[in-house]
Structure 1
Amino acid sequence: MDFRPKFGRRSRSAAALVLLAALAVVLSLSACGKNGNSLVKGKINVVTTFYPLYYMAHEIGGEDANVVNLVPAGVEPHDWTPKSQDLQLASQAQLFVYNGAGLEGWTEDFLGGAGSGDKLLKVEASQGVKLINGSGGETGEGGLSVDPHTWVSPKSAVVMAGNIRDAFVKADAAHAAAYESRYQALKDKLDALDAEFAQGLAPYRGRDIVVSHQAFGYLCRDYGLRQTAVMGLSPEAEPRAQDMVNIIKYIKEHKIKAVFFEELVSSNLADTIASETDAQTLVLNPLEGLTNEQEKAGEDYISLMKRNLQNLQKALQ
């Protein structure tokens, strides 16, 4: 994939305007910015691909890091592809954090286009998490149809945070002690969240949940639940008519009380199924991104995961 702008036959004045605009982008990225989308001198500059990684990197990096997230609030990361300015941003950073496990299919070409050589440290945050394949079974690296939603389980999030901590220390050894201290504080919060999920879902082990998007495999594996998804690993996958019939039959037979949907995609399918089965609809957030309202309200990974636990308990009671 070529991320360079494609220019056709244009007048010299138009070409000059394009060059000036490109120069403005470069200058803005090189300067200290106040809008959170620029690089900052005197700090380690970190680019993350989407919200959970931004949250972890921001918590660990603290005052020693400037963390910029590529996917903006309110945008579903499965829908998002990078633009030339994102490439420019990454090429000048010191650390690039991506999920891996097949989530960001554009990463290889994107990093190749950055042309930063060894200066940009690339971190696959999901490294070390035991992956699940698309059919629900576990798989090793290189398995097909891998479920990329590793971060949805607090247990996996601890592993991912450790990988990000290691990257900070490698890229900026002078602040290693500070990174380690902030990592331990984050780990304590994630461990406490893990304990809440383990205790809160213990009475419901072996129970079924119906979700609109197959994003909760790691959460279900780690806390003893089973997910049945209306759609596949990508929230844009369209179910067939027979799939809908089967899901409705499944809900009725298993007396499922709620159908879960997520906030960054339409709830139409969940609403349709709920109306056919008398089940209620509840939010189960895959934490792929914050809405603009959540961002303004100061919500974060921990608070939204706690709300997920509350909704799971509500549906399973």
Structure 2
Amino acid sequence: MLKKILALLLAAAVILPAASCARKAPSEDGGKIRVSVSFDALREFAAAVGGDKVAVSVIIPDGTEPHDFEPKAQDLTALSTADILILNGLGMESWADNAVKAAGNAVLITVDASAGIQPITAADAEAASEHGQYDPHIWLSLKCAETEVQNIRDALVRADPGNKTYYQANSDDYVAALEQLYGAYAAKFAAVTNRNFVTGHAAFAYLCRDFGLSQNSVEDVFAEGEPSAKQMAALIDYCRANHVTTVFSEALLSTDVADTLARETGASVRAINTIESSEDGKTYLQRMEENLSVIYESLSA
């Protein structure tokens, strides 16, 4: 895989440096700051803070699992004329360093949106091999999202200091909305006695940290296909022993295992958003509210 990515980046390098010598004039974008982001949640954060001062493009296409993303030359061309590149960080975009080098864009501001966040160590050896030392799913935490938004604000101010007050006001408004949603569910989760839920992908550790919850993931099975009979029996025993009433499944993963668990244990299968791709025109805040609502319902049932 690494050889394939390097080959693609070398191909991009042939195209991109030439393009970077002919950066678009601000008038071509209506004077807007050109922002590239890795995936959808970051697009929403950048758009919320930047408002009508930014033009945002997304590198990872909708419907693509970010963990499996392998950039092609055309995925990287926007970097040659971008003013800002926003990355989630914590190992989420393993391709980014080579992509930035290939872009040949000397004025590109690269933002690690995870800066200042206390990371959670990867749950196990498999997760570490996929992402690196730390769990990267910070955007699924309202508290971490606040930090990401503030890091994006700081980058926009650096690129466009004349509009600092505008970006600060937008950032403050969005952080206030995140805080309002957090406050509503902090009170609800404080009242539940069952604090464990089951997901397919181990993506919600930071959300759990926000609210004192615990996720139990069957990621190995969900992510890698059909389980063996022994694995399925162990999963069924686990769900029964822990009185699991709901198994959450993500849009980009198969529901086959969740459906089987539901049949065998009487649990229901509910969708949960990982907010990696745009979904039905819903905003980040709407999808996070849906996540918190279905988790709360499963714990209070």
TM-score by length of 2: 0.86
Counterpart among 123, 126, 132 of residue 135 in structure 1: 123
How far, CA to CA, are the matches of 1:220 and 1:156 in structure 2?
A: 12
What letter is aligned with 2:270? L
How far, CA to CA, are the matches of 2:138 and 2:42 in structure 1?
A: 11
Task: Check the 8 A contact 1:78/1:235 in 2, yes or no.
Answer: no
How far, CA to CA, are the matches of 2:287 and 2:177 in structure 1?
A: 13
Deviation at 1:144, TM superposition (A): 5.0
Q: Secondary structure at the match of 2:94?
A: coil
Please name the residue that 2:223 is paired with.
236
Q: Which residues of structure 1 form unaligned runs of 5+? A: 7-18, 33-38, 137-142
What letter is aligned with 1:204? V
How far, CA to CA, are the matches of 2:166 and 2:36 in structure 1?
A: 19
How far, CA to CA, are the matches of 1:90 and 1:235 in structure 2?
A: 34
Please name the residue that 2:272 is paired with.
284
Counterpart among 86, 91, 108 of residue 97 in structure 2: 108
Please name the residue that 1:315 is paired with.
298
More off after superposition, 125-134 vs 91-100: 125-134
1:46 matched to 2:18? The reply is no
Q: Secondary structure at the match of 1:78?
A: helix
Normalized per residue, the structure richer in helix is: 2
Q: Secondary structure at the match of 2:191?
A: helix
Deviation at 1:214, TM superposition (A): 0.4
Please name the residue that 2:258 is paired with.
270
Deviation at 1:205, TM superposition (A): 5.5
How far, CA to CA, are the matches of 1:67 and 1:287 in structure 2?
A: 17
Q: Which residues of structure 2 form unaligned runs of 5+? A: 1-5, 125-130
1:90 matched to 2:96? The reply is no
Deviation at 1:67, TM superposition (A): 0.8
RMSD, aligned CA: 2.7
Residues 106-145 of structure 1: CA deviation (Å, up to 9, x unaligned): 111111111113x000001011111111228xxxxxx953
How far, CA to CA, are the matches of 2:222 and 2:144 in structure 1?
A: 21
TM-score by length of 1: 0.81
Residues 163-219 of structure 1: CA deviation (Å, up to 9, x unaligned): 111111111101111100110111111111111221222222562101011001111
Residue correspondence of structure 1 range 58-97 to structure 2 within 5 A? 58-97=47-86
Counterpart among 177, 195, 198 of residue 186 in structure 2: 198
How far, CA to CA, are the matches of 2:120 and 2:170 in structure 1?
A: 30
Please name the residue that 1:36 is paired with.
none
Residues 89-109 of structure 1: CA deviation (Å, up to 9, x unaligned): 112100000101111111111
What letter is aligned with 1:72? P
Q: Secondary structure at the match of 1:128?
A: coil
Please name the residue that 2:3 is paired with.
none
Q: Secondary structure at the match of 2:198?
A: strand
What letter is aligned with 1:201? F
Task: Check the 8 A contact 1:212/1:231 in 2, yes or no.
Answer: yes
- Name the % identity: 33
How far, CA to CA, are the matches of 2:178 and 2:161 in structure 1?
A: 24
What letter is aligned with 1:131? P
